[in-house]
Structure 1
Amino acid sequence: MIPAEQINQILTFPALVDAIEQAFTQDISVPPRLHFDMENPKAARETTLLMMPAWQAGDLAGVKLVTVAPENSKKQLPSIQGIYLLFDVDTGSLKTTLDAPSLTAKRTAAASALASRFLSRPDSSTLLMVGTGTLAPQLIAAHASVRPITKVLVWGRSLAKAQQICQQVAHLAIEVEAIDDLETHIAQADIISCATLSQQPLIFGDWLVPGQHLDMVGAYRPDMREMDDSCLTKARVFVDNFEGALRETGDIAIPLATGVLTKEAIKADLFALSRKEYVIEREQGDITVFKSVGHALEDLAAAKMVYSKL
């Protein structure tokens, strides 16, 4: 079992960003992930079980088993828990197991940074981090590895938790400030990264200004949203993978169902961007949205990177 501490030491940015970009250009088999909502009478919301397999012919295969319990913060437990199993395709033998939450946090942040490298303005210098969970410090570090970030604003429902995130990223030697008012600060940001368990929009199109890039990481269920419809109608929209994004996240599925958004309006996913099948020509005033739902090849790329360093 490779623990979180070792995974965090090995998976650095932007090396992991590069590895995931390469993975999106390779022939990796990824069946649709299995998503089960398990009723939990002890909480107001279900606990979600995710099973995500991926493999490369003749090389390695991986399966991630993860649970998401949204109310775990009340129990002083992480909301995401699980394990990653890495197998040898040739022999079928188990090579190693890895701590899934740390692997997930690293690869999710790297995927967001990869999208930012394609979509955000190259001179983006101010990042607004919305959310104070496990992903927040990883997203800050990942974005700062691909763009010249000099200032980070951190917002959460708890100002104390936002201040804790500031302390966790102090080693980056970037100006970091916890804020308690999202609306009045949002116009200052070049990149807005949002990773929460919110069921209602937190980011509104009326607040946005030209040239911004939105990195939307939360809203992992069809009934959850982090941005309102006008964010989508004002922006050029991209996703990490079409199959998952169209059905798994309320940020995309709900606007599709109501007709606010069409499939054709989603410009490209990370496969097309990484393979140079879609090349964005960004005008200075364009607003871009990247919606991340996660993809098993990202996990496999990260797990292979860890295993290669042992």
Structure 2
Amino acid sequence: MSTRIPVVAQLPRLTTNDVLDALRTAFTELAAGTAVQPPQTVMPLPGGGDVITYQAVIGDAYGVKVSPYLPQLNRSAVVTAWTLVLSTCTGRPLLLCDAHTLTVERTAATSALAVDRLARPDAATLAVIGSGTQARAHLRYARAVRDFTSLRMYGRELVQADAPEGVAVARTAEEAVAGADVVLLCTSAAEPVIDATALAPGTVVTSISTNAPRAHEIAPEALADLEVYGDYRPTVTAAACEMVLAAEQGMWSPEHLRGDLPELLTGGCPLASGERPVFFRSIGLGIEDLAIARLLARP
């Protein structure tokens, strides 16, 4: 008998609280050992580009996101993503989802969970470096976990008329981060965009992954002067490029990672001391994709 897979071509509007709660639960289950998060895999393509797969298991659901990166001659690369959810009880597919928007939401929400655990309770000034879809999602999720009173954004082509409501446009990245309590890096840069070591002690900086080869938004040598956290300890130090480069050059060791999100949410690692700037690095995890896809698969 054939099985008809529910296909979600466009992500329905989910509330920020729904997404944050789903990810918080997923990472807590990961800490408890009732969820599984293997490393992502990268499959190089013969003609250039690659396909990344992100897998995870939560409860009775297995999920895999397949994300091709397909370079094109004389135009931007094609990047797509699809998430498939299967029942681990019946083996039947539960959902196939166009994961483009899902990826934006889960990435921003993951950064916000880290901000909630690592930023000072009275954090008031937020700086966002980048002005695209990911930057605007990060702004939205960060505002859901802290009552920021000063909001700044920097993008190379961003003008005030195009900025989100209530956000001041900075002329440079340095101007945006000056005096900020939280800095969200949301660029596609393959090299550092700010000097994280120049920030005040206790300032939280988050950074995400991009498709640029060996991309890193802060300098690898900066890690030695920061309190460093990641989304998941077993995978982030092997995939986050500034961590890989710093380790290769003997400037930092994965043993110096202070904690990850499962530990931060369950008291398994120390919180930020306030003595140095704080750096949180996420690489994107299948458990994040599955946590949100499960919301879509609910009856």
* TM-score when normalising by structure 2: 0.87
Change beyond 3 A, Cα 1:206–1:263: closer
Superposed, 1:10-29 pairs within 5 Å as 10=14, 12-26=15-29, 27-29=34-36
Say whether residues 1:92 and 2:91 are aligned partners: yes
Distance in 1, matches of 2:215 and 2:180, equals 24
Shift of 1:30: 2.4
* Equivalent residue, structure 2, for 1:54: 56
Say whether residues 1:144 and 2:143 are aligned partners: yes
* Equivalent residue, structure 1, for 2:4: none
Shift of 1:195: 1.7
Show structure 1 runs of 5+ residues with no match: 41-45
Aligned partner of 2:39: which letter? P
Say whether residues 1:207 and 2:198 are aligned partners: yes
Shift of 1:287: 1.5
* Equivalent residue, structure 2, for 1:226: 217
* TM-score when normalising by structure 1: 0.84
Aligned partner of 1:94: which letter? P
Shift of 1:94: 1.2
Change beyond 3 A, Cα 1:110–1:185: closer
Q: Secondary structure at the match of 2:51?
A: strand
Shift of 1:37: 3.7
Change beyond 3 A, Cα 1:243–1:140: same
Shift of 1:206: 4.7
The answer (yes or no) to whether the contact 1:183–1:207 under 8 Å persists in 2 is no
Change beyond 3 A, Cα 1:5–1:131: same
The answer (yes or no) to whether the contact 2:153–2:176 under 8 Å persists in 1 is no
Identity %: 26
Show structure 2 runs of 5+ residues with no match: 1-6
Aligned partner of 2:294: which letter? K
Distance in 1, matches of 2:86 and 2:54, equals 14
Aligned partner of 1:302: which letter? I
Say whether residues 1:252 and 2:243 are aligned partners: yes
Distance in 2, matches of 1:18 and 1:264, equals 30
Distance in 2, matches of 1:237 and 1:221, equals 22
Deviations 1:241-266, CA, capped at 9 Å, x for gaps: 12322122212110111111112211
Q: Secondary structure at the match of 2:121?
A: coil
Superposed, 1:1-310 pairs within 5 Å as 1-6=7-12, 9-10=13-14, 12-26=15-29, 27-38=34-45, 47-57=49-59, 59-68=60-69, 75=76, 80-160=79-159, 164=162, 166=163, 169-170=164-165, 175-219=166-210, 223-229=214-220, 231-280=222-271, 282-283=273-274, 285-308=275-298, 310=299
Aligned partner of 2:8: which letter? I
Change beyond 3 A, Cα 1:107–1:124: same
Distance in 1, matches of 2:54 and 2:9, equals 20
* Equivalent residue, structure 1, for 2:3: none
Shift of 1:268: 0.8
Change beyond 3 A, Cα 1:29–1:210: closer
Shift of 1:185: 3.0
The answer (yes or no) to whether the contact 1:206–1:230 under 8 Å persists in 2 is no
Deviations 1:189-217, CA, capped at 9 Å, x for gaps: 11111122211111113531223100111
The answer (yes or no) to whether the contact 1:53–1:296 under 8 Å persists in 2 is yes
Shift of 1:4: 2.8
Q: What is the Cα-based RMSD across aligned positions, in Å?
A: 2.5
The answer (yes or no) to whether the contact 2:44–2:51 under 8 Å persists in 1 is yes
Deviations 1:72-128, CA, capped at 9 Å, x for gaps: 9954x8x64211111111111111211211111111111111111111111112211
Q: Which moved more, 1:124-133 or 1:97-106?
A: 124-133
Deviations 1:252-296, CA, capped at 9 Å, x for gaps: 11011111111221101112112221141533x542110010111
Q: Secondary structure at the match of 2:190?
A: coil
The answer (yes or no) to whether the contact 1:159–1:180 under 8 Å persists in 2 is no
Distance in 1, matches of 2:58 and 2:73, equals 35
Q: Secondary structure at the match of 1:148?
A: coil
